[in-house]
Structure 1
Amino acid sequence: MTELRIEGLTKSYGPPAPPVLDGLDLTVPGGALAAVLGPSGCGKTTLLRIIAGFLHADAGSVTVGERVMTGPGVHLPPERRRIGIVPQEGALFPHLSVARNVAFGLTGLDRTTRRRRAEEMLELVGLTGYGERMPHELSGGQQQRIALARALAPRPALVLLDEPFNALDSALRAGVRADVRAALRLSGATAVLVTHDQQEALSTADLVAVVRDGRVAQCDTPQQVYRRPADPWIAGFVGDAVLLPATALGGGTADTALGTIPLATDTDTDTDTVNGTGTVLLRPEQLELTEPTSGAVGGTVTEVRFYGHDAMVTVAVDGLADPVDLRTAGPVAVQPGERTGIRVRGEAVLHS
């Protein structure tokens, strides 16, 4: 297993545009899958192309294991980096069979060894027996798994996945993601997945690196990034967020328009700001509909969006300028225009 270390990576396409990457740091432990997540234009694709060797960095370094790929006075060409790439839409060679596609990068080996390795990779991705088919005879999901097999066949030090599930319909996407993740785990490969899909990053990766303005704003496990985002922007970008003005009361609680809420004890809460004020983060699933009894926090339902497995209910809360969204499972008992109560479950995160 090979660790990926990126330090101080900088890349600009020239003035007057600001740098696309601005001193980016990222470490991916050996054997882990890291998802690089961020909005369009944040530098995700540029980062991937520099790691692969397709672009020169202006400054900084990329090290895979003990080999410096990019650094001061160093730029290994792509063919010498031992990095496998899974592009968007598979990009298989249409004139080659599946087996020959998988074996394409196996140079310097005899024909028998190449065939055996291709068969091993097809078994790894669950497509044993597909070697003689042509790419046009495969579904989109099968093509992506063949692309992964081709990337893994030469035993690369690192695998890069460039938004590989974008072209798949929603019914296929989750299954192919799971298959790809399982194959990567079995191979022991270190991998970097570039995506703009928050659900994909959270459900697939061991680590999620949120990139903003050319730097990693937060890198942690999916659960920590979702439950303990480093700032309100990350909270709103990684999933749905309920952000409320709050005043820290001491004793690990904060006063909000939804009542007094306990604060997470592992959060860096700055209660020394003016009046101890800040912004509290809750997730929609932490809010619960209750009977609109006197003394309870109440509001008026303005919208109900039903998704099958759950529903998102928007409530204009009394005394709060902006409405809040809450997620509820099962049948929705309220309709727009009705009064409801709201109760908070669990702890909140306070950002100063």
Structure 2
Amino acid sequence: MNDLQVSGVAKSYGPGTAVLDGLDLTVQGGHLAAVLGPSGCGKTTLLRVIAGFLRADQGTVTIAGRTLAGPGIHLPPERRRIGIVPQEGALFPHLSVARNVAFGLTRTERGARTKRVAEMLDLVGLSGYGNRMPFELSGGQQQRVALARALAPEPHLVLLDEPFSALDSGLRGTVRAEVRAVLQASGATAVLVTHDQQEALSTADAVAVLRDGRVAQCAAPEELYQRPADPWVASFVGDAVFLTGTAEKNTATTILGRIPLVAAPAGLREGLVLLRPEQLHLTDPTTATAEGTVTDVCFFGHDSMVTVTVDGLDQPIDIRAPGPLQVRPGGRIGIRVTGEATLHEVPA
């Protein structure tokens, strides 16, 4: 299998400017992993090191058991069998769609090359588009051609560098789903670099969250969202509600009542209880475990985010509720909690 293994990789751009700091990352063959993190955390540097555009200061990069970078080893990009899909497709404007896809097949016999191009265009749903020029395509179609071009040489790994960022929001979700389906159908191992949390969680088989040049946590999207490693990761991958709580066995006592725990560090009795806004529900005060005053309501169409100042709690909390609501700022409301929470140590 075409597993990617990044071990202890470090990269600096000069004294005091370490970007990657002993980073470790494993991507299982045939899987799509998203690398997610704030600006400056090292996402692009990691991609460039894997691709061979940058030489790592230390550490190793292997794909399918083949060392691409390590002590005394630095294979150039053209020898790494890595396909790259950049942000805006970067198609050659003077070449037809078919010639763009065939660009990396110069050493392939003409008949086999033509067949491979046809296979790739069919795979990305663009059969019959081979004679078109890039300017005749939509943004989403251009990205699919870029993906076909990256997959045509049968690379060991495909790197996607924020490939959907230039698309409008309505098109982005559709193209994202199409690209994921194409990668699954091809069996390719892929790494998606993104700053978009929803994109990472909805697209990838595993999500690696970078912080200060290292992987803070790498897990399946559901695991990452429901069981984050610490409060910082929890807040970065989604909206989070933190309450101080005291744990006893498998529950925690909070100002919102007793909440079952799915995970807690061994020996930790007091800490921060993590809930997601969708776990909090607005209800009649007479049937609630806590009460508060509505301070703000933001309507997003499919749901609303309601900010409530809870009696006895210094900081207001956010509650995600479906659709339009009748509640208004200044109104009194009850709150109840569903589901399980995680307990974390209070950050130093």
Instruction: Give the structure-2-normalised TM-score.
Output: 0.97
Equivalent AA in structure 2 for residue 263 of structure 1: L
Equivalent positions of 1:304-323 (< 5 A) are: 304-323=297-316
Q: Secondary structure at the match of 1:84?
A: strand
Query: Which residue does the alignment assign to 1:14?
Result: 14
Contact 2:10–2:59 at 8 Å: present in 1 too? yes
Give the alignment's Cα RMSD to 1 decimal. 1.1
Do structure 1's residue 262 and structure 2's residue 260 form an aligned pair?
A: yes
1:117-154, CA deviations, whole angstroms, 9 ceiling, x for partnerless residues? 11110000000000000000000000000000000000
CA distance in 1, matches of 2:146, 2:137: 12
Change in CA separation of 1:151 and 1:339 when aligned onto 2, cut-off 3 Å:
same
Do structure 1's residue 195 and structure 2's residue 169 form an aligned pair?
A: no
CA distance in 2, matches of 1:159, 1:16: 32
Query: Which residue does the alignment assign to 1:98?
Result: 97
1:293-313, CA deviations, whole angstroms, 9 ceiling, x for partnerless residues? 287410000111111111111
1:250-302, CA deviations, whole angstroms, 9 ceiling, x for partnerless residues? 121111121111111xx243444xxx210010000000001122874100001
Query: Which residue does the alignment assign to 1:349?
Result: 342
Query: Which residue does the alignment assign to 1:292?
Result: 285
Q: Secondary structure at the match of 2:98?
A: helix
Query: Which residue does the alignment assign to 2:237?
Result: 238
Query: Which residue does the alignment assign to 1:253?
Result: 251
Equivalent positions of 1:202-241 (< 5 A) are: 202-241=201-240
Query: Which residue does the alignment assign to 1:5?
Result: 5
Q: Secondary structure at the match of 1:239?
A: coil
Equivalent AA in structure 1 for residue 277 of structure 2: P
Query: Which residue does the alignment assign to 2:147?
Result: 148
Contact 2:301–2:324 at 8 Å: present in 1 too? no
Contact 1:270–1:351 at 8 Å: present in 2 too? no
Change in CA separation of 1:111 and 1:294 when aligned onto 2, cut-off 3 Å:
closer
Q: Note the C-alpha offset of 1:115.
A: 1.4
Change in CA separation of 1:295 and 1:326 when aligned onto 2, cut-off 3 Å:
closer
Q: Secondary structure at the match of 2:308?
A: strand
Equivalent AA in structure 2 for residue 6 of structure 1: V
Contact 1:102–1:147 at 8 Å: present in 2 too? yes
Q: Percent identity?
A: 70
Q: Secondary structure at the match of 2:158?
A: strand
1:43-70, CA deviations, whole angstroms, 9 ceiling, x for partnerless residues? 0000000000000000000000121000
Instruction: Give the structure-1-normalised TM-score.
Output: 0.96
Contact 1:254–1:261 at 8 Å: present in 2 too? yes
Equivalent AA in structure 2 for residue 84 of structure 1: G
Contact 2:299–2:324 at 8 Å: present in 1 too? no
CA distance in 2, matches of 1:331, 1:120: 47
Change in CA separation of 1:202 and 1:294 when aligned onto 2, cut-off 3 Å:
closer
Contact 1:289–1:341 at 8 Å: present in 2 too? yes
Change in CA separation of 1:294 and 1:229 when aligned onto 2, cut-off 3 Å:
closer
CA distance in 1, matches of 2:327, 2:344: 32
CA distance in 2, matches of 1:244, 1:270: 19
Of residues 288-297 and 66-75 in structure 1, the stretch that sits farther from structure 2 once superposed is: 288-297
CA distance in 2, matches of 1:344, 1:209: 29
Change in CA separation of 1:344 and 1:74 when aligned onto 2, cut-off 3 Å:
same
Contact 1:300–1:339 at 8 Å: present in 2 too? yes
Contact 2:19–2:41 at 8 Å: present in 1 too? yes
Do structure 1's residue 87 and structure 2's residue 83 form an aligned pair?
A: no
Q: Note the C-alpha offset of 1:111.
A: 2.0
CA distance in 2, matches of 1:257, 1:296: 8
Equivalent AA in structure 2 for residue 158 of structure 1: L
1:4-27, CA deviations, whole angstroms, 9 ceiling, x for partnerless residues? 00100000111132x100000010
Query: Which residue does the alignment assign to 1:338?
Result: 331
User: Structure 1: which 5+ residue stretches go unaligned?
Assistant: none
Change in CA separation of 1:222 and 1:296 when aligned onto 2, cut-off 3 Å:
closer
